[in-house]
Amino acid sequence: GIEGVLESYLQSLRTVQLYGPTNFAPVINQVAGTAAQVTDGSQYHVLLIITDGVISDMLQTKEAIVTASSLPMSIIIVGVGPAEFEGKGLLPPRG
Q: What's the first-to-final CA gap in the chain, in angstroms?
A: 35
Q: Does the predicted model carry a pTM greater than 0.95?
A: no
1-24 in b/e form (b: 16+ CB < 10 A) is eeeeeeeeeeeeeeeeeeeeebeb
Alpha helix positions (H), the chain: 2-15, 25-36, 58-68
pLDDT in tens, the chain (95 residues): 888 888 888 888 888 877 778 899 999 999 999 999 998 999 999 999 988 878 889 999 999 999 999 999 999 988 887 777 666 555 555 55
Dump pLDDT digits (tens) for 81-90: 777 766 655 5
Nearest Cα to Cα of residue 54 among 8, 93, 20 = 20
Domain residue spans of the chain:
2-79
